[in-house]
Amino acid sequence: MKTTILMSGIFLIIMGLVGYFVLGAESVTALIPTFWGLPLLSLYLIGQYDERLKKTTRIVGLVLMLLGAGGSIGGIFKVIQFLSGETLARPGATLMQSLMFIICINYIRMAIKELRQRRT
């Protein structure tokens, strides 16, 4: 799980920065993945240096990613609309939103898998 939280945080930070600068720095909303990745990276660092908070950081990370998935699921719906023939107003933003959803869902999947393994 340590690798999942670290890689998710780093990937979200990089994705947000690249999206912001590649898409023309039009809106701060392009940095939302970065704003999501920074707390994840912070949670990883806190969990690494304080054993007592490790379980808490995992739970907070899971809640953060559940909120991120809920907020970015619209990108998936826009991709489905695009595949059915509609045009997108901002395809780059839709791509970033969809990628954020995929990262969040992957994190949630890995967290659930780890919880199931700990119970057995």
Question: Over the chain (120 residues), what is each successive 10-residue block's mean pLDDT?
Answer: 83 90 78 91 86 82 91 89 84 86 92 82
Name which of 74, 52, 69 is nearest 108 in CA terms.
69
Identify the sign of the CA torsion 57, 58, 61, 67. Answer: negative
pLDDT for position 13 = 94
Task: Specify the pLDDT at position 58.
Answer: 83
Q: How many CB atoms lie within 10 A of CB 107?
A: 25
DSSP state of 26: -
pLDDT at res. 101: 94
Separation of alpha carbons 68 and 36, rounded Å: 8
SS3 content of the chain, % helix, strand, coil (to 5): 90, 0, 10
